[in-house]
Amino acid sequence: MNLFLDSFPVGLFQCNCSILGCPQSKEAIVIDPGEEGDAITKRLKAGGWTVKALIHTHAHLDHFGATADVKACCGGRSYLNKADQFLWDLHETQSMMLGLPRASVDPVDEYFQDGQILSFGQHSLEVLFTPGHTPGSTCFRLASGERQMIFSGDTLFRRSVGRTDLPGGDFDELAKSIKTRLYTLDGDSEVIPGHGPATRIGDERRGNPFVRV
Ligand SMILES: [Zn+2]
């Protein structure tokens, strides 16, 4: 089963936005359309993708600032963990605090359930709740095909973890989420974080200085 994956950094904070697609059905899911809506839309149109869902690892503005724009051009339903709705609602405050451009923001279409399966064509992602960076932080595990992959948002980075000093952050929760939900995955699993370079679960289990097994 072929999988299309295009991950690229967007905006001031270089949030990794990912387009995951099923080449057979041309259905796609967009993860964290944080900024640069035009660039994301261009890639979606160029690939001829039908957007099924716009999903978010959490509701810091650098991860959802372009959601409304991409949705207006390409369609798709937006998803969030309900526990981050308060941050979504604070988008104007976030734009001032983070120095990001004010974004046009639509209401969230649907809330995730932990363990929910989101399908796109012959592929699917499993929703994993991983609170800590924010109360509603969520990771997505590719649950189809041979490739083992996890989109870790700002929960786990290469040799680092997300900050927990922002409103709603909790380091103990973050460490628990990483140990029980991410370090338990196959060591060969590729990790695409919310910012910065990719890594593997096994490498972080062995070498991450912030959360040790
Ligand atoms: Zn964040």
DSSP string, 51-66: EEEEE-S---GGGTTT
> Do the Cβ atoms of 73 and 106 come closer than 8 Å?
no
- Secondary structure element (H or E) that encloses residue 124, with its range: strand 123-129
Instruction: Give 12 Cα–ligand 1 centroid separation in angstroms.
Output: 13
Q: How do residues 23-69 score in pLDDT, each as one tens digit?
A: 999 999 999 999 999 999 999 999 999 999 999 999 999 999 999 99
pLDDT band at 144 (very low <50, low <70, confident <90, very high): confident
Q: How far is the CA of 134 from the centre of ligand 1 (A)?
A: 7
pLDDT at 145 (0 to 100): 76
CATH architecture, range 4-207: 4-Layer Sandwich (3.60)
133 Cα–ligand 1 center, Å: 7
Please say if the pLDDT value at position 1 is more than 80: no
* Cα–Cα distance, 207 to 193 (Å, whole number): 16
User: What's the 69 CA to ligand 1 centre distance in angstroms?
Assistant: 20
User: Has residue 146 got a pLDDT over 90?
Assistant: no
Q: Where are the domains of the chain?
A: 4-207
pLDDT value at residue 147: 87
* Residue 101, pLDDT score: 87
Residue partners of 165: CB distance under 8 A and separation at least 6: none
